[in-house]
Chains A and B, each alone.
Chain A
Amino acid sequence: MNGREPIAHIEGIKHCYGKKLALDSIDLQIPAGCEVGFIGPDGVGKSTLLGLIAGQKKIQTGDIHVLGSSMRSGTHRHDVCSNIAYIPQGLGQNLYATLSVYENVDFFGRLFGYNRDERNERIKRLLKATNLEAFANRPAGQLSGGMKQKLGLCCALIHDPDVLIMDEPTTGVDPLSRRQFWELIKGMRVHHAGMSIIVATAYMEEAEHLDWLVMMEGGRILATGTPPQLKEQTGKTTIEDAYIAMLPEEMRYGHKVFTTPPRIASDDGSAIEAKHLTKKFGDFTAVDDVSFTIPRGEIFGFVGSNGCGKTTTMKMLTGLLHPTHGQATIFGRSVETGSVGLKKRIGYMSQNFSLYGELTVRQNLSMHAHLFDLPKEDVPSRVKEMAEKFNLNDVMDDETESLPLGIRQRLSLAVAAIHRPEILILDEPTSGVDPVARDHFWDLLINLSRGDGVTIFVTTHYMNEAGRCDRVALMSMGHVLACAAPKDLIRARNSNTLEEAFIAYIKDDLAENKTNGMDNEKQTVPFMMKPDRVKKHGRYFDIYRLAALARREAIELFRDPIRLITSFIISPFLLIVFGFGISTDIENIKYSVLDNDQKMLSRDYLNNFSGSRYFSQQKPVHSHFEIDKGFQSGKFNMVIEIPPNFEKDMKRGQRPSVGFWIDGTMPFRAETNKNYAEAVHQTYLIGVADRSPVRMESSSTHVQPRYWYNPMLRSKYSVVPGLLAVVLMLVPAMLTAIGVVREKELGSITNFYSSPMTRLEFLWGKQVPYIVITLITFIILLVVIKFLFHIPFRGSFSALIVGTVLYIITSTGIGLLISTFTRTQIASLVAAFALTLVPSFEFSGLISPASSLVGGAEVFSRIFPARYFVNISVGTFTKAIGFTELAWNFVFLLVAYITIQTLTVLLLKKQEI
């Protein structure tokens, strides 16, 4: 186009998701230095193609050359990723919700290695250019959609990319913000003419202003060319019409010039009534004294920029939020009572996609049909009917989360209408839906309204949709600016279109309240600093990038105080509980007697037991049946049975036999119990023997035991230091186990795919803050051990420290390893427990000595690092030893760490598959 080499050559690209073909033999050259738009309805493969060009997704078949070399090559991707910026679909997907605006941009600045002054300078310019300066300290999660998108732009532009790839950047953004966004882009191009912009959009009117368009359908390219060329080809006046003309015949179904048949006014009374609705969140008034009445059967449009209070109003109408003042009634009844009967008459579709992603389309539809109490036999036919009406037949058995945004929205609508509600409350139902489907959908709405008398309350960003409503309310900053039929609004402002009227109303309103960042002055501030300085980055490892990542992770952690505090408290808590709770000293064994003799001698014998601190006597029993019952109900764990004629037989020298019944359910206790019983019995015999003429050979004379390290055999001396291995495994692994998988579920993982950060940097960045936290916890633990358990430290302190550091690195590493192979956060939580709890308790030597483990337990014990740390901890605390004696344990810990780290790096993919 302008004589420059194309920025991207696409050759024979095919891409499948499972069996679904998303892209089919794409060949394309994308010209450099201009604004290129990919247009087409949802699910035609726009996002996939953009992801492939950006190097986000792994190429399956074919090849893509971007900026001179193939994107199949990892080295090339690494080299060019600082020349490409990518903004994924969905508002603020790649932003960090708890970080402030400034911190978000700053993170990307650090990632690309700019020093402090340069970062400050750049961020200042970018925020100024995008009018976000006033909001620099606001968390990104609390921004409106349009502001999020501008912030996304700032983050993408901080490193002066040559190519900017944006996937539906304005979807779900209100018209004013959308207009500002494009002005921003145009303004930026004034200063940086060389920059190439690739954008996917569902708004055809936006496509009109782009330089070069690619029209897509069904994974293929329909046509390419400049907007005038395309319009000329088809003989149409708008891109929207041109696109529809390009479609194959059968796809044009249902598209026609849209008109809303007039409503026949009825006097059925009002369907929805809002009286002075006000909602305050702290100091912030989200909705301020909003009143309106919607008669039955009306289509009522609610229009306003993001964050103006539309959604809050809707939530009050559905009873999800309580108004601070005022009242909302539906069919004359207050919604606050929240009756089930009332809820059945309403269909609601929320702004965020809130269906179950792991269910198929069919499952979602039929579940909702059942939940709305449709008669069981009607459910399949109703599901079928909705599938047909909403054109979902092809995707009925697909998982919902794999569908493109537009189809998911269609499904949400089908779900909202499945129970034939009398009122439909729809929060931006068509954002991101392609034009044909949108018209189709409005057909349905109008049928519902005019045919079945359904009252429809709808918010929208599309002005042509607002134009179709019977009445429209314009909302801004919590209050309604105007509420009338669309043509009356246009007339009142002397404008040509509803959009102009809308903007005029808002500007007036803004002029009154000069407290916002929406002023629409032309920006002349250049976005970027020139010339671009070439930054030196480490290819495989860069300490600044690592620091940037670790810093961001730490800030996120600090913004979540519950998580931060619990991560410090849990370890000491567990140590204290187990330090007191795990004890092997058995005393007070409950026993009962079955004395069939009841003589002096039998009582004398039994007194030996009742006098021992190891036994505690319960009520005596009188039969064998009672013995069984007593064991079963846990009344006692041992019974001593004295035979009849015990005294007589003893005196006659007939050697009566005393019976001991021991509960063997818990073998350790049974064993100890048996030994205690034998010991008491022996003592008795010795006593008897002392009084008799025959001398007994005392039988413990040949063995001289020497108890090392812990002569009093107090279990706490080894249990408490050993427990360090448990708590320093469980908690750190749990802290990091969510790390990677959470970014995957939230979407910020794209930053990892599209920035120069390497796998090691990414992983270590996630690990470092938790290592620091755990080290601080370790100091608390030492204090607890010293002052609460009074366990002296005898060995080499430096050995303990080195061992602990190695062990913590390993345990946080195990958490990260878990988070790379799990697919959901639930799975990683379960894995963090299942893979660390039992091995660290049972296979570490804490409870049964490691040298006595056999079979699978021995194998686990040898590969799991806890055993080596138990040796180090118990060794340095109680055995008074140091590096020399423990040398091998350090080696094993190191080997364990290296293995885990290697596995993690291998399992973590730098591209989306």
Chain B
Amino acid sequence: MRKLRHIYRLGLKELISFLHDYVLIILVIYCFTVMVIVPSRGTGLQVRNSSVAYVDEDQSPLSRRIINSIQMPFFQTPRAITYHDINQVLDRAEYIFVLHIPSGFQKDLLSGKNPDIRIDVDATAIGHAKLGTTYLTRMINQEIESFLPGIRKADDLPMQVNIRVMYNPNRENSWFMSMVFLTHMITLLAIILPAAALVKEKERGTVEHLLVMPLVPVEIILAKVWANSFIVAMGAMFSLFFAVKWIIGSPIHGSTTLFFFGTVVFLYATTALGVFLATIAKNQPQAGLLSMPIIVPIAILDGGTTPLESMPRFLQIVMKFAPTTHYSELCSRVLFRDAGIGDVWVQFLAIAAIGTVLFAGAMIRFRATFR
């Protein structure tokens, strides 16, 4: 009881310090709004809004139909360029795809020859090059098939196929990405805020001041953990309702309560990691530098930005020890697939276990540094 009161009081002090720094408050709000909304709207690995240029040497009704068939949301409206520019626009990364319809294409096609449309692809645009080519090919072929009479239509095939993409039928990228960026921001703040706050106390000597009081290290650490978790959890819930749900319009199928509890467990792990880093760093520049090679990889490689399955085997194993991997999985299951506690208890346990190891590490390091 007495311990709880101490932890509560020390945590209040953290909150006051935080509220004192208005630049920091603005930054945190910026993280939870702009950095969730803007990147999730505009980016993603999926082919959307890809840039296409064309060289139409045929100038026939068919060539115009083909060009007009290339449309949003997969592609931007194609722009005409000249043949000599093809090299240059690809070099300069102005367009990813350049369609080249040779002269006499329609005539050749109708006369039974097999003319080709060439697509020049900037293959350094890795996310788009392959899938985009597939889409373009399919669109062009469909357009040509509907132009030419007598080609066998789909209803003649021996079997039908019915593909249903669940939870997100139109594969709307921003829904998922907003969650990914939200988890990134939670990770970033939950590690750096307590780390910097504790190193600051070390630098100023206020930790010693706390240690001569009737306080024990676990109280000091738990106060840092709860106060910073509180700040980030509030920001995260605000961001979920304001940015993810309202602005981006992601349909949240699942239980936000379960998400909240998952976030709380995750924050326990990440703030403990922050405290652990702070026990290693001697000053704030060091805290910043030391947290970078931790925060950035565990955030980016959590399976949200690029799929976990695409990573090399050893990295997949390493990432199993990062709390973010389990949290990212938990979020996508709970928020988008309406998973219940029965489906995500493994993640809860994994995060709690990782958190407890980190917390114990922080405790041991803390005692070692200040004794």
A-to-B contact residues, CB < 8 Å: 315, 318-320, 322, 340-341, 343-344, 346, 348, 350, 352, 354-356, 358-359, 363, 367-368, 370-373, 399, 560, 562-563, 566-567, 569-570, 573-574, 577-578, 580-589, 629, 631-634, 650, 653, 655-672, 674-675, 677-678, 681, 685, 688, 692, 694, 696-697, 699-711, 713, 715, 717-719, 730-731, 734-735, 737-738, 742, 821-827, 829-834, 837-838, 841-843, 845, 847-858, 860-861, 871, 874-875, 878-879, 881, 885-886, 888
* A792: min CB distance to chain B, Å: 14
Binds A, one of B113-121, B237-245, B260-268, B350-358: B113-121
With an 8 A cutoff between CB atoms, is B80 at the interface? no
In the bound assembly, the distance between CA atoms of A810 and B14 in angstroms comes to: 35
Which chain A residue shows the least CB distance to B46?
Answer: A668
List residues of B (101-141) whose CB comes within 8 Å of A's CBs.
109, 114-131, 133-134, 136-137, 140-141
On whether the beta carbons of B340 and A632 are closer than 8 Å, the reply is yes
Number of A-B contacts (CB under 8 A): 466
Whether B227 sits at the interface, judged by CB under 8 Å, is no
Instruction: Say whether, besides A371-B215, A685-B158, A670 and B165 are in contact (CB < 8 Å).
Output: yes
Chain B residue contacts of A315, Cβ below 8 A: 208
Q: Judging by beta carbons under 8 Å apart, are A677 and B163 in contact?
A: yes
Q: List 23 A-B contacts (CB under 8 A).
A: A320-B208, A562-B281, A580-B311, A581-B300, A581-B315, A587-B309, A633-B333, A662-B164, A663-B167, A665-B333, A701-B116, A702-B115, A702-B141, A710-B124, A738-B284, A821-B23, A851-B51, A852-B49, A853-B43, A853-B49, A857-B43, A879-B90, A888-B92
A845 neighbours in B (Cβ, 8 Å) = 93, 125
Q: Pick from A631, A675, A677, A875: contact of B131, CB below 8 A.
A: A675
CB distance from B109 to the nearest CB of A (A): 8
Q: Are B23 and A705 interface neighbours, CB within 8 A?
A: no
Query: Are the CB atoms of B213 and A350 closer together than 8 Å?
Result: no
Also in contact, A580 and B315, with CB within 8 A (given A665-B332, A821-B23): yes
B186-220 toward A: CB 8 Å interface, digit per residue (1/0)?
Answer: 00110011001100100011101101111110000
Residue of B nearest to A315 (CB): B208
**Residues 266 to 308 of chain B near chain A (Cβ within 8 Å):** 281-293, 295-297, 300-301, 304-307
User: Chain B binding site: helix, strand, loop or mixed by DSSP?
Assistant: helix
> Is the Cβ of A586 less than 8 Å from the Cβ of B310?
yes
A281 CB to closest chain B CB, in angstroms?
A: 15
Q: Mark B160-178, 1 if CB is under 8 A from A, else 0.
A: 1111111111011101100
Specify which of A577, A657, A842, A879 is in contact with B39 (CB 8 Å cutoff): A842
Q: Does B249 contact A (CB under 8 A)?
A: no
- Contact (Cβ within 8 A) B45 A834: no
Query: How far is B46's CA from A319's CA once the two chains are assembled, in angstroms?
Result: 60
Asked whether, in the complex, the Cβ of B173 is within 8 Å of the Cβ of A667, the reply is yes
Interface centre among A399, A633, A705, by most chain B C-beta atoms within 10 angstroms, is A705
Is there an interface contact between B337 and A631, defined as CB atoms closer than 8 Å? yes
Contact A849 B121 (CB under 8 A): no
Chain B residue nearest to A881 (CB atoms) is B91
Of all chain A residues, which has the CB nearest B109? A702
When distances are taken between beta carbons in the complex, the residues of chain A under 8 Å from B301 are 577-578, 581-582
Q: B368 within 8 Å of A by Cβ?
A: no
Q: Give Cα distance in the complex from A380 to B25, angstroms.
A: 30
Contacts known (A371-B214, A829-B192); A562 close to B305, Cβ less than 8 A: no
Shortest beta-carbon distance from A133 to chain B in Å: 30
The contact of A826 among B136, B193, B209, B333, by CB within 8 Å, is B193
CA distance A881 to B91 in the complex (A): 7
B320 on interface, CB distance cutoff 8 Å: no
B31: A residues at CB distance < 8 A: 830, 834
Nearest B residue (CB) for A739:
B285
Q: Which residue of A lies closest to B133 (CB)?
A: A705
CB pair B92 A885 closer than 8 Å:
yes
Q: Is A708 a contact partner of B289 (Cβ separation < 8 A)?
A: no
B38 proximal to A (CB < 8 A): yes
For the complex, is B366 an interface residue (Cβ under 8 Å from A)? no
Q: Are B16 and A358 in contact (CB under 8 A)?
A: yes
Distance between Cα atoms of A568 and B181 in the complex (Å): 28
A856/B41 contact (C-beta < 8 A), A704-B117, A821-B23 known:
yes
Given A354-B209, A696-B152, A826-B284, is A658 in contact with B161 using a C-beta cutoff of 8 Å?
yes
Say yes or no for B44: interface residue by CB 8 A criterion: yes
Report yes or no: B165 in contact with A674, Cβ–Cβ below 8 A: yes
Contact assessment for B35 and A560 in the assembled complex, using a CB-CB cutoff below 8 Å: no
A632 and B338 contacting across the interface, CB-CB below 8 Å: yes
Known: A656-B160, A837-B296, A838-B184. Contact between A706 and B120, CB under 8 A? yes
List of A residues within 8 angstroms of B200 by Cβ: 824-826
